[in-house]
Amino acid sequence: QVQLQESGPGLVKPSETLSLTCTVSGGSISSYYWSWIRQPPGKELEWIGYLYKSGSTNYNPSLRSRVTISVDTSKNQFSLNLSSVTAADTAIYYCARDLNGDYFFDNWGQGTLVTVSS
């Protein structure tokens, strides 16, 4: 059973870079497709970006200039960097699996709350 776990700082200062890691256990990260999705408190879900098996990526145009998703297959992890954060980036950040490259998500991490505040 594949499990996902997000980790990273819960508090980030404005203008700094938010960095999160998703650790995958119970399966190889190279076997699936992955995404980061966020949810501001009390609001709807927002797709951030996608990591293909090949290692290529695709990002939400609204965040593209600030987002980088990368993978470390040796650690079975993938990461999110979001630069120049503001209070609007305060959200629960989820990593999620796309089993077959169909672009919906069948397995999610528990989520981690990141607050942007000085």
Partner 1 sequence: DIQMTQSPSTLSASVGDRVTITCRASQSISNWLAWYQQKPGKAPKLLIYKASSLQSGVPSRFGGSRSGTEFTLTISSLQPDDSAIYYCQQYNSYPWTFGQGTKVEIK
What are the beta bridge partners of residue 50?
A: 35, 58
Q: Least distance to partner 1 from the beta carbon of 52, Å?
A: 13
Backbone torsions φ then ψ of 70, nearest 5 degrees? -135, 165
Identify the sign of the CA torsion 52, 91, 7, 2: negative
Q: Least distance to partner 1 from the beta carbon of 23, Å?
A: 15
Q: Least distance to partner 1 from the beta carbon of 28, Å?
A: 21
Tokens matching residue 84: 């120049």
**CA angle at 7 for the pair 117 and 21, rounded to the nearest 5°:** 105
By C-beta, is 7 or 16 nearer to partner 1?
Answer: 7
Residues in the chain: 118
By C-beta, is 8 or 16 nearer to partner 1?
Answer: 8
**Which residues of the shown chain bind partner 1 in the complex (CB under 8 A)?**
44-47, 58, 60-62, 94, 96, 102-106, 108-111
Q: Least distance to partner 1 from the beta carbon of 104, Å?
A: 4
Q: Give SS3 for 108.
A: strand
By C-beta, is 72 or 106 nearer to partner 1?
Answer: 106
By C-beta, is 16 or 68 nearer to partner 1?
Answer: 68
